[in-house]
Amino acid sequence: MIEQYGWSDPLGQAFAPYARAGQTPGRILVQQRGAYLVASDDGELRAKPSGRLLHQAREAGHPAVGDWVALTVNRAEATATIHAVLPRRTAFVRRAADSLQTPQVVAANIDVAFVVTSMNADLNPRRIERYLAAAWQSGARPVVVLTKADLCAEPEVQAAQIAAVAAGCPVLVVSARQGLGMDLLLAQVGPGETCVLIGSSGVGKSTLVNALSGAERMATQEIREADARGRHTTSHRELVPLPGGGLILDTPGMRELGLIDADDGLGVVFDDIERLAEDCRFNDCGHGGEPGCAVRGALESGDLDAGRWEHFQKLGREVAAVDRKEDRAAKDAERRRLIALQKTHRSSKKVRRDD
């Protein structure tokens, strides 16, 4: 059974130590409120992490949809305990909505990242750049998907505009209602491969899941006419088999996508700007008023769009802020560790004096 979920010989080799311990492989299909549905050779099982794994999750994070895991199975009750997570080939990460904005894996072992946006008033090249950076950083191969082409008067024109900022990624124009482009979309996912849909709420992700899987797996809602946006229609993450042998993961809409260590992703999406910077006269050019600045020259000539340059700077500052916050958190953790050690040392000295 697990072969249909992407099980392979390399995974079998990675799982060998757990097999010797008598554990069973599985892949997480659904994650909801700390509980999991896992596919295994014993069928679909309700699963919970072991206490040890929960303790480790404080540092390494919790299991995510798409993860391959090691299980012990209770066949009589169709339940399982998750003991370990196999190394991830790829991981899609966002900042959690807590005060520390800690990294949170929302999808693992993804081969194709469909960056989905609709061809309506919500079409935003800057937002697509943000999602593409995160997609490249995840390790998956990005594909831009422009939905609701039946509602657009000139879909080819808009597709060309998006292709200009898509860093060489395929740009597909689709309409689930008319069936336009769906075969091309499905062809992007090979047998055993897993794709993920990322994009804002209301762009048609759940509708695409329904159309590709041939079933009404996900609830959908109408778009608000006032701002062409929608509401979240997926309350959990679900891994769905596709007719061609691939799998698709529908994630809840994320309006603000945090960039975690996305230097490499930004470098791919804004390769044109990085190549311009290499032509600056000075290696440490700040692209302000320095003489011989190739970036400023391109801006003045119109070869570089000012909005694209501003967005590159904004995302760069965002990544730098994450780095600074992580550095402060690491320093604070080390300070707390040293204080705890000092308290323990003082306590031990007091005990020896009392003796």
**pLDDT for the residue numbered 345:** 47
Domains 2-85 and 91-250 share a fold: no
Q: Which positions of the chain have pLDDT values less than 50?
A: 99, 219-235, 253-257, 259-261, 334, 345
Q: Domain spanning 2-85: which CATH class is it, in words?
A: mainly beta
Write down the architecture of domain 91-250 according to CATH.
Answer: 3-Layer(aba) Sandwich (3.40)
Q: What is the pLDDT of residue 50?
A: 94
Q: 147 - beta bridge partners?
A: 118
Residue 235's pLDDT is what?
A: 46
Q: Are 196 and 188 in contact (CB under 8 A)?
A: no
HSE (CB half, 13 Å, CA atoms) of 235?
A: 3
Overall residue count recorded for the chain in this entry: 355
Give the pLDDT of residue 207.
83
- pTM here? 0.71
Write the CB contacts of 171 (distance below 8 Å, at least 6 apart in sequence): 143, 144, 146, 159, 162, 163
* Domain ranges across the chain: 2-85, 91-250
Q: What is the pLDDT of residue 325?
A: 59
Predicted pLDDT at 21:
95
| Nearest of 167, 100, 111 to residue 138 by alpha carbon | 111
Q: Are 203 and 149 in contact (CB under 8 A)?
A: no
Cα dihedral angle (205, 211, 212, 216), rounded to 10 degrees? 90
